């Protein structure tokens, strides 16, 4: 069996979508003739912890953990985890205090490409020695953080090993890049590093077709599309029956202030004012880290009593919540670059077989996935009437008891199918 070394900053017990992609690949790679070996920090910053993800890893998996030194203790002391707008991602278009702008600018210009850059050279030294004694057939780096790609590039130069760069998000075309307060020379440095990664990798992987096309236009290195996906075993073969006395809208994962679906909240508030039964049954379930602005907007509209803010949930509970929804909410960031993004949750929404209401770019990548799978719709942030009609239709199906699961063809997004595609690239 061939071996592949996976270099990832995020690994269990750290939770979140950035972990799930490569946990699932590691889970299924041996079916296609590959044994994974993982290299990851022993003391990473953890925005969420999910012990359940570790139970999915194959028995006997080799995980190499090495110490990493990061400036985050000082960063959070100044930025403050409780600062409004800093909850999900401080790198956005929302108004910031002087202190926030200062810290973001220092972070962006002092730590290039990211605060994990100090781990690059120690990792290369360790891995060069390790690979001499424990050779592998391929190395995969997954970013962000994009410092992981710098490890792969230097390792490939030193050893000649085949190296694949997996971009879970773009680099300089990421929606928050322009909010990092970068000086011109720093931005140019980012672009230069990104280009070197694209040109020196044996192959590149992108998670959406627009991003794949952007990368391929800039390099002769083969760029492949492997989206995120869903694992069939995470979803019940027979979805749970929906309660007759609850009409539930569910959002899972990060809920950022720059994706606040204000018109949806307006529609729900108006419906509550006009229909007592709707108001008594409405539940807005938020499972994941949610910015304060989201909760504030709901409170201003008198919807606080209808909100269940659960915070981060273990992955197995998240999928149960998705399957128990009358409507799954998919609000996108209000950034032009986000039209090319495919949030990881969209594929689990497909597997949950519940109707998806997207709020975002109607011509974007996410809208295309929803349309092709027959799983839902995407409406621009300011459109009210289509959103109202969608909620009314979902409410009527709920009252009639005819809220049957959807049945579109989504097989190509299964984790097993995606792992087979990965094995073909390795």
Per-residue pLDDT of 257-275, as tens digits, reads 999 999 999 999 999 999 9
In angstroms, how far apart are the furthest CA atoms of the chain? 71
Find the range with the poorest average confidence among 111-125, 232-246, 268-282, 392-406. Answer: 232-246
Q: Which two tokens stand for residue 236?
A: 């019940």
Cα distance between residue 143 and residue 40, in whole Å: 12
Model confidence at 93: pLDDT above 90: no
Q: pTM here?
A: 0.92
- Give the sign of the dihedral formed by CA 356, CA 358, CA 361, CA 366: negative
Model confidence at 100: pLDDT above 80: no
For the chain, the residue count is 426
Find tokens 């621009």 and name the residue: 380
Per-residue pLDDT of 5-40, as tens digits, reads 999 999 999 988 889 999 999 999 999 999 999 999
DSSP letter at 230 equals: B
- What percentage of the chain reaches a pLDDT higher than 90? 80
Q: Which of 46, 38, 56, 59 is nearest to 15 (CA)?
A: 46
Model confidence at 74: pLDDT above 70: no
The predicted structure's pLDDT at residue 82: 40
Q: Work out the angle between the directed axes of helices 147-159 and 184-200 (0-180°, nearest 10).
A: 50
Q: Which two tokens stand for residue 130?
A: 């390790």
Find the range with the poorest average confidence among 48-52, 56-60, 107-111, 243-247. Answer: 107-111
Cα distance between residue 242 and residue 395, in whole Å: 12
Q: Which domains does the chain have, with CATH numbers?
A: 2-69+111-230+415-425 (3.40.50.2000), 72-109 (no CATH), 232-400 (3.40.50.2000)
């Amino acid at each position: 069996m061939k071996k592949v070394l996976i270099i990832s900053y995020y690994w269990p017990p750290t939770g979140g979508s950035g972990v799930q992609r490569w946990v699932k690949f590691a889970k299924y790679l041996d079916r296609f003739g590959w044994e994974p070996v993982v290299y990851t920090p022993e003391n990473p910053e953890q925005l969420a912890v999910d012990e359940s993800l570790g139970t999915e890893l194959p028995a006997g998996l080799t995980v190499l953990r090495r110490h990493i030194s990061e400036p985050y203790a000082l960063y959070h002391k100044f930025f403050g985890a409780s600062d409004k707008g800093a909850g999900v991602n401080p790198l956005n278009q929302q108004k910031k205090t002087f202190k926030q702008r200062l810290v973001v600018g220092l972070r962006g210009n002092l730590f290039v490409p990211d605060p994990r850059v100090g781990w690059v050279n120690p990792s290369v030294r360790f891995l060069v020695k390790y690979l001499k004694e424990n050779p592998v057939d391929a190395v995969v780096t997954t970013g962000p953080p994009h410092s992981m790609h710098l490890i792969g590039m230097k390792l490939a130069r030193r050893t000649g090993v085949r190296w694949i760069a997996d971009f879970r998000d773009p680099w300089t075309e990421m929606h928050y890049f322009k909010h990092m307060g970068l000086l011109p020379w720093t931005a140019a440095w980012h672009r230069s590093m990104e280009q070197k990664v694209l040109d020196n990798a044996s192959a590149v992987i992108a998670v959406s077709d627009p991003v794949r096309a952007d990368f391929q236009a800039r390099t002769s290195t083969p760029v492949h599309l492997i989206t995120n996906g869903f694992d069939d075993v995470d979803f019940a073969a027979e979805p749970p029956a929906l309660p007759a006395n609850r009409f539930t809208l569910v959002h899972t994962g990060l809920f950022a202030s720059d994706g606040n679906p204000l018109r949806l909240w307006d529609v729900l508030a108006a419906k509550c004012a006009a229909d007592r039964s709707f108001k008594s049954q409405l539940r807005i379930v938020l499972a994941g880290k949610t910015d304060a602005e989201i909760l504030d907007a709901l409170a201003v509209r008198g919807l606080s009593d209808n909100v269940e803010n659960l915070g981060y949930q273990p992955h197995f509970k998240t999928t149960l919540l998705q399957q128990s929804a009358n409507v799954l909410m998919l609000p996108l960031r209000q950034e032009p670059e986000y039209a090319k993004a495919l949030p990881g949750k969209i594929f689990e929404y497909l597997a949950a077989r519940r109707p998806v209401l997207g709020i975002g770019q109607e011509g974007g990548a996410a809208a295309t996935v929803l349309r092709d799978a027959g799983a839902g719709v995407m409406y621009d942030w300011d459109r009210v009437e289509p959103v109202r009609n969608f909620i009314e239709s979902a409410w009527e199906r709920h009252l009639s008891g005819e809220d049957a699961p959807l049945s579109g063809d989504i097989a190509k997004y299964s984790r097993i199918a995606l792992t087979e595609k990965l094995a073909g690239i390795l």
